[in-house]
Structure 1
Amino acid sequence: MVSPPSGCSVQLERRGRVDGPGLQQCSRAGAAVRRRLQVNGARAAARRAAVETAEQRLARPVVSASASRAHLRLHRPCPSTWPHCARGRGARQTHCFYRPDKLSRSERSFTGGIIGPYRARRAHKRGEWVEIGQVEAFLAVGTFGGFRRAADALRVTQPAISARIRALEQSLGVPLFVRSQSGLTLSAAGRAFRPHAEQLLHAVAQARQAVHDLRPASGGALQIAAALSICTYVLPDVLKRFQAAHPKVMITVRSGHSKEVLEMVLAGEAEIGLARSLHHPEVETLSLRDDPLVLVTRPESKVARARRVRLDDVAAQPLIFFDRGSSDWTLTHGLFRRAGLVPNVVLEVETIETAKRMVERGMGLAFLPHLAVVNEIRRRRLVALELSDAEPLSRSLDVIHPRQRPLSQEALGLLKTLRAAVGEEAGSPRRQARKANASPVNGSRPSG
């Protein structure tokens, strides 16, 4: 029973009597209070029901169809005689098995021994997953020797690379990198995992290509990016063959340094790239042939008579370098730097063709790509010299394309033409010319 408001009781006691208007006013106030209490009670009951429903949903685990009967029995409501079961007035009984705060220490130990291994097995299966992005990050870090450089190569943030490597190491259960004073290097597990990682990405690229080959050929255009020397000495004959077999394909060729070729391929500006000794986690690399740097001079020079020279003797001769900042320029300078020598550079030019013409005029010696001088060596306009005390400046002619984007039918046709041209050149008189003009990369003596 709800009593009238206290103000009305005090007023009636002071007056000592009950008048009509005062009693009506107090009755109306009491009815308003009762209605307010009923509304508040209904709201509180609704809140309690919502909380209990949420608790029941959180406490009830998701059981797979393959769960055993023992697990299913554990998910049933517990008997009403268990004291730790939480019961609200009028509420359904909760699943106290997953309520650690309602269990005693012995019960927590018992249930933890059953549910712990079950959850651990499920987590272990999730941890065995290896994602393609993690493998790409691993190869990028291994290739570039650092997380920051790997992040720049993959065009992601450094924390993203760190997170991928951490997840991969947790999946494999071993550290893949070792930090030392010399920098970041692969651990024994990382060295064992690397060839399999490369095979995995190669298999993924082949799978994409196989699916893409089922689509009808689009036709129309083919974008190529190539190093300048490849554009000059390789592509003319190759594209002539390709155009004869695919007359309706429009070809676009863009040139640049090897790094610029890689950037164009990664950015999607070129479908296929031709460069030298390029490796990147996001591209497939196919090596077509070797293209070493050959030390050449004119036949009338004094050093041409010996054919075998020492590197310090070469450093004293007038030298012609080309394309400052390119990979060829870096390789040539590195050869002298590792030997502790300073080359006598008398002329620096922009292109290989200019350097070749300067050598033919007798202005000095030069390290030039074999593809650029093979015809001149065959015609005896230039002579290849062999270095007797230095390692060869070997490079490879590579074709690159993105792993994430399958090749079109036009690009596959160009790749087939490139392989055929390289194979024919390997069996052509070029090999005999190399034997007759001792190239420094094979260390062979001239045969006559």
Structure 2
Amino acid sequence: MNIDNLEAFMYVVQLKSIHKAANALFLSQPTVTARIKTLERELNTELFSRQGRGITLTEQGRAFIPYAEQIIQTYKEGKKLMKDSNEQEEIAIGANVITSQYFIPFALPMWKKENLDVRFKFVSGTNDMLLEKLLQGQIDLAFIRDLSHDNLQRREVLDNTVKLVVYPGHPLLQENEITAKRLAEEPMVFFECGAFDWNRVHKLFEVEKVEPNIEFQVDHLEVAKSIIKSQCAIGFLPYLCIKNELFDGELMEVDVSHLIQIKQHIFLAYTKQEALNQIWSVIESSLTTFKQIDKNFLSIQ
């Protein structure tokens, strides 16, 4: 049984498309189709039913998946065993932009320190790009926002809730039960990014029929943060980018949970449990250390 035929089968299963599988394998569609047909002849059964241009798994095809996965995994393990003992093992990890900027620089040195014999390959990208790389087997793990996919497993790892922040000494810090009308009086910086639902912030003002005083509209978190620190405006920013400034007292959070709550989380996503098991202990340790600042911060409030 040809391992290439099995891999073609699993790519079609995961991507639910011969076209997408061909792109992922850098092959032509006829080549992928031929490999599937060869596998079907060897098994003497149909793995997919063809409906026009679409395909769906047959019952036999669905039943064969765990066996195909086991054969491919056994092959990979054997191939790994045959490698030169001096060759470093590589783990490929991806992260969306905000995690890449604010968590990965903290965590990656810790991972390497605990895994000296492992070479880490890291890529940054959009959530959609990372999902595609995961499904194609180009990366082993990815830090992304919540995405639902049949072949995707995930664990919640980081809080990235959006918070209203101001500079120290701002009058809002002394006020209780702040209203949308009161917020609209303050100059604001808006960070626009497709990864966050900023429509909910706009809706906060629309419901009260007031216009926010948006003095700055930017597409970079550090720019938005600097504007607030310079005491030119206030703004809603995701927690990961302001974590250190809150701890150091350079920025202050204003509680507006009675007006709006935008809870967001970063998830560690993967397609194969063994990929997570291989490095989960050191990732978990880095997450614990990263979050420890939060506990220290809360204890001195």
The answer to whether TM tops 0.5 is yes
Q: Write the mapping of 1:371-390 to structure 2, written as runs, cut at 5 A.
A: 371-390=240-259
Secondary structure of the corresponding residue to residue 309 of structure 1? coil
CA contact (8 A) 2:205 2:212 kept: no
Within 1, Cα distance between the matches of 2:227 and 2:189?
8
* Aligned match of 2:285: 420
TM-score under structure 1 length normalisation: 0.47
Distance, in Å, in 1 between the alignment partners of 2:21 and 2:136 is 11
Deviation at 1:369, TM superposition (A): 2.2
Computed over aligned residues only, the root mean square deviation of the Cα atoms, in angstroms, reads 4.3
Shift in Å, 1:301: 1.8
Match of 2:194 in 1: 326
Letter in 2 for 1:333: N
Question: Which of 111, 114, 129 matches 1:242?
Answer: 111
8 Å CA contact 1:225–1:255 kept in 2: the answer is yes
Structure 2 stretches lacking a partner, 5+ long: 1-9, 23-49, 60-65
Q: Aligned partners of 1:422 and 1:376: how far apart in 2?
A: 19
Please tell me whether the aligned partners of residues 204 and 260 of structure 2 are also in contact (alpha carbons under 8 angstroms).
Answer: no
CA contact (8 A) 2:161 2:238 kept: yes
The Cα offsets for residues 323-357 of structure 1, whole Å up to 9 and x where unpaired, read as: x34212xx222233266355432222232222211
Residues 35-59 of structure 1: CA distance to partner in whole angstroms, max 9, x if unpaired? xxxxxxxxxxxxxxxxxxxxxxxxx
The offset of 1:283, in angstroms, is 1.7
Matches of residues 273-312 of structure 1 in structure 2 within 5 Å? 273-306=142-175, 308-312=177-181
Flag the 1:310–1:257 CA change in 2: closer, same or farther, 3 A: farther
CA distance in 1, matches of 2:247, 2:290: 14
Q: Distance in 2 between matches of 1:351 and 1:160?
A: 46
Aligned length: 255
Task: Tell me if structure 2 keeps the 8 A contact 1:242–1:413.
Answer: no
The answer on 1:402 being equivalent to 2:267 is no
Task: Give the 3-state SS of the residue equivalent to 1:387 in structure 2.
Answer: coil
- Alignment of 1:256 onto 2:125: yes
**Which ranges of structure 1 fall in alignment gaps of 5 or more residues?**
1-131, 138-149, 169-202, 438-448
- Closer/same/farther in 2, CA of residues 260 and 308 from structure 1, 3 Å limit: farther
CA–CA separation in structure 1 for the residues paired with 2:139 and 2:178? 42
The alpha carbon displacement at 1:421 in A equals: 1.7
Q: CA offsets per residue over residues 428-447 of structure 1, 9 Å max, x none?
A: 2413524766xxxxxxxxxx
Give the alignment of 1:355-366 within 5 angstroms. Answer: 355-366=224-235
Q: What is the DSSP-based 3-state SS (H/G/I as helix, E as strand, rest coil) of the residue aligned with 2:121? A: strand
Range 264-273 or range 428-437, more displaced: 428-437
Counterpart CA distance in 1 for 2:201 and 2:75 is 44
1:392 is matched with 261
User: 1:337 maps to which residue?
Assistant: 203
On the 8 A contact 1:279/1:285 being kept in 2, the answer is no
Counterparts in 2 of 1:256 and 1:320: CA distance versus 1, 3 Å: farther
Q: CA deviation at 1:249?
A: 2.8
* Matches of 2:91 and 2:128, distance apart in 1: 20
Quick one: which amino acid aligns to residue 382 of structure 1?
A: L
Which deviations, in whole Å up to 9, do the C-alpha atoms of 1:258-316 show, x marking residues without a partner? 22322332343322211122222222212113221111110122212226533343344
Measure, in 1, the Cα distance between the counterparts of 2:118 and 2:14: 33
- The question of whether the paired residues in 2 share the 8 Å contact of 1:308 and 1:387 is answered with yes
* 1:383 positional shift: 0.5
Q: CA deviation at 1:414?
A: 3.8
Task: Tell me the distance in 2 between the aligned counterparts of 1:309 and 1:284.
Answer: 40
Structure 1 contact 307–385 (Cα < 8 Å) conserved: no
Instruction: Choose between structure 1 and 2 for higher RCO, CA contacts under 8 A separated by at least 6 residues.
Output: 2
2:46 aligns to what?
A: none
Rounded Cα–Cα distance in structure 2 between residues aligned with 1:316 and 1:338: 14
In structure 1, what is the Cα distance between the partners aligned to 2:75 and 2:220?
39
The reply on whether 1:431 has 2:257 as its aligned counterpart is: no
Q: Secondary structure of 1:221's match?
A: strand
Instruction: Please report how far the alpha carbon of residue 385 of structure 1 lies from its aligned counterpart in structure 2 after TM superposition.
Output: 1.1
Task: Tell me the SS of whatever aligns to 1:327.
Answer: coil
CA–CA separation in structure 2 for the residues paired with 1:362 and 1:372: 18
- Code of the residue aligned with 2:247 in structure 1: it is R
Question: 2:259 aligns to what SS in structure 1?
Answer: coil
- C-alpha distance 372-325 of structure 1, shift in aligned 2 (>3 A): closer
* CA–CA distance in structure 1, aligned partners of residues 186 and 71 of structure 2: 53
Q: Does residue 314 of structure 1 match 2:183?
A: yes
